[in-house]
């Protein structure tokens, strides 16, 4: 009986149990990879675009949350403007934290 209740709870939780790091990686692949190196190795396709694994060397990654919520705008004309929802921000930051070069 307990197993059945647990199974029902897990199934009904659905997306709430999704892996935020994987969600963040999917966002990066879909929206950032054409310019930035988004993984733990490799060069950025656009040389001026910082590799995501080195972002913490420039500023604390967790401080990107506000910029992502309000909309990142840069002087770089090819950088799209993003405004993410709280769950997207959490997932993207979890992914960024997971790949930072230490």
> So where are the chain's domains?
18-99
Residue in this structure with the two tokens 């997971």, named with its chain if needed: 98
Closest CA to 27 of 102, 85, 70, 67: 85
* pLDDT score recorded for residue 20: 95
* pLDDT score recorded for residue 95: 97
- Is the CATH number of domain 18-99 2.40.50.140? no
Spans of the chain, pLDDT less than 50: 1-14, 17
Helix then strand count (H, E) for the chain reads 4, 0
* pLDDT score recorded for residue 45: 96
């Amino acid at each position: 009986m307990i197993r059945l209740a647990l199974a029902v709870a897990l199934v009904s939780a659905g997306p709430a149990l999704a892996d935020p790091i994987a969600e963040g990686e999917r966002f990066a692949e879909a929206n950032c990879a054409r310019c930035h190196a988004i993984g733990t190795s490799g060069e950025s396709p656009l040389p001026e675009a910082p590799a995501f694994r080195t972002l913490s060397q420039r500023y604390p990654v967790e401080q990107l949350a506000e910029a992502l919520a309000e909309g990142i705008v840069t002087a770089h004309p090819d950088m799209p403007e993003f405004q993410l929802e709280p769950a997207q921000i959490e997932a993207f930051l979890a992914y960024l934290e997971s790949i930072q070069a230490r």
